[in-house]
Structure formats: structure tokens, C-alpha cells
Amino acid sequence: MNLNIGIDLNETIVNSIVNKLAEYDPALRDRPKEDVVRKCSAARILAAIGNLNSIPVFLKIRDFVERPLLEQNDPGIMNRGMFVPLRRDDTQLFIAIANPWDPIAEDICAQKYPDLEIVKFLAPVSEITKVIESVSKVSGPTKSELESIEVDEESDDIADFNVTTTYEEPLTQFVAQMMSEAIKGHASDVHIKCEKERIHYSYRIDGDMREKHEIPMKLRDRLDAFMLNLMGLAPEERQKRPGISGRFTVSYMRRSIDIRYERHRTYRGYHVTMRILDKSHFEAKLGMGSLAFDSGTLFELEKVMAIPAGIIVMSGPTGSGKSTTLNAILRELNRPEDNILTLENPVEDEIQGVIHCDLKSSAEFKPMITSFMRSDPDIILMGEVRDFDSAELAIEAAITGHKVLTTIHCPRASQIIERFEQLGIERWKIAQTLKAACAQRLVKMLCPYCKVRRPGVTPHEQKKFNLGDEWLNIEFFEKSPEGCPECQHRGYSGRTAILEIIPVTAEWSDALSKGTLSPYELELAVRKQGVLPSLKNSGLKMVRDGKTDFEALRKVIDMSTD
């Protein structure tokens, strides 16, 4: 069983950890092993590991590292042993390790510092990786080296593209450096664009496009062919189809990271978008991390997930984290006694015990879902409802007693019903099968190291964001214009999800079917109860709590509404 903390452990050790977790919380003692792990955060699992080995846990190590000591050690060696030295004195060396059962870190440090006693702390893999990244540099070729590349040169196939190593061939090293910097900077996407007189690439970080980096124009076709080669495709594929979808894997700091590749032809060449699916040491869990929704929303989600049949629909724009939340829900629903099938294009997050099916084209959807229904599923995840066929099949699956999770594109949760109607589905069918209509957004988080305090909004801002008079005197924070090194001078650090949910009860379902209640009136009825917050109210609470600001909020939420 995988604990999803970034280290591989054998079954005996895993059982010991699970038993220790159950000792902490008596409520977990009689639950299946998979449930125990699912209900515990990575920090809690790490605490159990530390207790088993009598090693203290240190969750945040970056601020306690002696930089000169760190720079004395090879990043490659630290990455191999997954450790970092923290501090030293005349007799002791303090190090952070990820795996107390792996002797490599202690052996390496004992050889390098033979006169010092090794004192170990346990730290998350993600923290150790960040510290190693701070001294790890992947240098790209110079502009003159790129210009000197012969355009008719052919690169060798790269079976395992390690982007933290050094390659002699300049173009290979350039792509390695581009992908390494993207992963290190926590970019969600890399874009390569061809214009009339230039070609450039840029990263999308925290939802925003960043600085454009120039590439020599003569490398346009050579770079294009190289990227296709990573996926095992011949350059001739460019002439056969206007759009190419694929994926490849890169190795970064001992982790394998999937890259989803999309290329389409443009007037001046091509546009490539590479989505970085870096989830090898991260597992989204409801109520934790970026999915730490308020208690009322989490309770309603739990109620809806307990219903044996029906549809849970997640709406929001592209890149709003809909699939991440649905996969977190799927993890909660994942039980040995249930047969769970997913139909996605492409598969982004594999879950142990779940059968994932990858659509190669939209033409495969209808025959695949028909085959699905003959495979005796209990729970079905459909990546997206985008046309009449997919909408009808989702409804039919729910009517015949299946639990269906899916996404759709529309701005508000209440508009999900209208969107299904636009696709040709009758209102009564939607009302009888829809159990929860959800809308989600990802909001940028303020950097905790450099955020700036404000005494209250101005009258102009009050009108602009449609705020009550109390906001004139509510103290809040906003991003620093200059930022700091911790946030790479962006002012923001990461994003978190906010969710609004409209549970469709039997009473409301009946009213929707008869036409005595409109979708918008349903939304108003839920809000009138005062239990479940809207997207705007959730966002304003984050502003009050000092987690985000109005500038970040207005980019993802319509602030003009109540």
C-alpha cells in the first residue's frame, strides 16, 4: 500500500505505521487499513514514522539550514540519499532525512564528517527537495551555443529524460533546463509559441503567464521535432493532423513526472502547451491543504457522497482544480467492495484500486461508455460533459442506479442545470438525478513572508467590489509590490480552492421537475439558509483571514454580485 509521502516502504513497515496511527486515534482502530491512511494527513503519518524510530519530526526546515554548510554538499548526492545537512557545531552534525529505514544518508554524512556525531530529524520529502533545489542548478546552453546548432542534426532518442542531468547536445540540454526550471518554479504549464519574427516560451505560475524567453528562430522546426520525439512520434505527424495530443515522462529529483502535451498548428508555425502533472509526492485530500473547505461545505459533500446513486457535477473554468477535487472525492469513495471506473481524456491522477480508461479521441466516448455499463460499475467518473451524448449517458447511468462524478463548463453552480438543458437533456431527468451542483475556483495565496497590512478598503474599492460598510474598517492584507525571495518576487505563493455547493434535496428536486422552482431560485434558497457560503463569501473570508487579497479574488470571482 502506498502512503503517498514520497518514500517507498515495504508492507511490514507500512503495517507498523498504520497500527501506530490507530494508537493515536481510537476511532481508527476498527477501520480498514486503507481508511486509516486516507483519513490521515502526511504530517500525521510522518509523526507516526518518527515515533516508531524515536526520531523527532521537523516539518519546516528551510529557515533553519546553514547555507554555507548546505553548499558544501553535492545536490546529486543529497538527492540520492534524500537528506540535507541543517547545522553543525564542534561535536554534532544535524541532518534532515526522509526515510529513517534507509542508511544511505547517515553513511554519506559519516564519511564526509567522520569526527561528528550524526543527529537525525525526520522531514517531509517535499521540504527536503525544496532545500536541495535551492542549491541545484541546471544550466542551459548559451544563446551562441543555441545559434550554433545545426538544424539538420538529429537527436538520439531519450528513453528516460532526466532533466536534472547534463547533456552534451545543446538542444537536449536546453529542453532539460526549460522543464527543470518549470518544475522547480511550480509552474502548471509551459507554453511554446511561434510568432512572425520570433519564437518564445513562458511558464504559467499560480494561474498567471510569466516572462517570455526567446528561442532562436531557426530552431523552430528542430525543437518541434525534438518534442515529438520525446513522445515517440515521427516529425511527419505534424503534416497529418492539425492537433497532436500526447504525454511523456521526465525524471526530476528522483521523481517521475508526467507531462501532458498539446500541439496545434498556427498561422506562423505552432503553439505547444505542456501541462506538468507533478503529483508524485502529493495527494489531494478533502479537508486538507488546498482542499481545506469550510466545515459546512465538507459536511454537505459527505452527505452527498453517502447517497448510493446520482450525479455530482463540478463546474468552473479550465484550470480551476475541478478534476483534483473529484479525484479527492473518488479517494474517499474508494472501497474494496466497489467497482470504480473512470473515463478521462487524458488520465491525470491514477488512484490505486480504480480502473482508469484513457480516451484517445472524442469518437471513442460513446462505445467506451456503452462498454463501461456492461462492466458492472458502482461508481463512474466521467472527465467532462461536453455534448449531448456525454450528458445523456451520464444521466442514464445515474437513473440506472450508478453514482456518477463529472465536470462541466459554466460559471455558477445553479447554471449547471441550465447547461444540461442547453445540451438537450429534459429538466425532469436532470432534477431527478442531480444530487450536488458545485462550482470551484483556485485563488492565489499571499506570500506569508512579505504581505502588506491595510487598515481597510477605500470608498472606491467598496463600490468596486460591492462590499458592506464594515469593510471600510476591517484590517486586511495585500500582496507586496516587490515581493521577496521566498515567493520569487511574485507576492503570491501557491493557490487554494474555494467551493460552493448546492445540494439538491428530494423536495427541491420535485420543485425543479414541476417547474415551480428555477435554478437561480434554488441557489437563493440555499443561501437563505446561511449554512453554505457562496464563492464570493468564501473568498471574502480568506481576505479577512489574511490568506489572499481583493486583486487575486477579482480575477476568479464576479465581485459585483452579492
276-300: pLDDT as tens digits: 987 654 567 777 777 888 888 888 8
- Report pLDDT for 45: 86
- Report pLDDT for 361: 66
What would the pLDDT profile of 517-527 be if each residue is shown by its tens digit? 888 888 888 88
What would the pLDDT profile of 136-191 be if each residue is shown by its tens digit? 766 666 667 677 676 655 555 556 788 888 888 889 999 999 999 999 888 999 99
Assign 545 a pLDDT band (cuts: 50, 70, 90).
very high
- Report pLDDT for 151: 64
Percent of the chain with pLDDT over 90: 32
Within 8 A by CB and 6+ apart from 25, the residues are none
The H or E element spanning position 535 is helix 535-544
Predicted TM-score (pTM) of this structure? 0.75
What secondary structure letter does DSSP report for 519?
A: H
Within 8 A by CB and 6+ apart from 512, the residues are 417, 427, 430, 431, 504, 519, 522
What would the pLDDT profile of 407-417 be if each residue is shown by its tens digit? 998 888 989 99
Q: List alpha helices for 115-204, DSSP H.
A: 125-135, 143-147, 170-184
Assign 60 a pLDDT band (cuts: 50, 70, 90).
confident
- Report pLDDT for 411: 85
- Whether residue 323 is predicted with pLDDT greater than 70 in this model: the reply is yes
Q: Which amino acid is at 28?
A: L
Which of 53, 101, 61, 55 lies closest to 85 in space, CA to CA? Answer: 61
What would the pLDDT profile of 304-318 be if each residue is shown by its tens digit? 899 989 999 999 888
End-to-end CA distance of the chain: 46
Q: List alpha helices for 6-103, DSSP H.
A: 11-24, 33-38, 42-53, 67-71, 75-81
- Report pLDDT for 533: 84
At 20, list the grid cell. 501506530
Task: Write the DSSP assignment of 351-401 as a string of letters.
Answer: -TT-EEEE-SSGGGHHHHHHHHHTT--SEEEES---SHHHHHHHHHHHHTT
- Report pLDDT for 145: 67
Mean pLDDT of the chain: 86
Residue 374 or residue 93, greater confidence: 93
Show the domains of the chain with their CATH numbers. Answer: 11-135 (3.30.300.160), 153-277 (3.30.450.90), 289-554 (3.40.50.300)
Core vs surface per residue 57-76: b (16+ CB within 10 A) or e: bbeebeeebeeebbeebebe
Beta-bridge mates of residue 440: 499
What secondary structure letter does DSSP report for 57?
A: B
Which of 419, 378, 422, 417 lies closest to 397 in space, CA to CA? Answer: 378
Residue 11 or residue 451, greater confidence: 451
- Report pLDDT for 83: 93
- Report pLDDT for 544: 93
* Average pLDDT of span 83-105: 92
Residue 481 or residue 290, greater confidence: 481
Beta-bridge mates of residue 95: 85, 120
What would the pLDDT profile of 242-259 be if each residue is shown by its tens digit? 888 888 999 888 788 889
Question: Picking from 290-294, 357-361, 429-433, 549-553, which range would have the lowest pLDDT averaged per residue?
Answer: 357-361
What would the pLDDT profile of 203-245 be if each residue is shown by its tens digit? 998 888 988 999 999 889 999 999 999 888 888 888 777 888 8
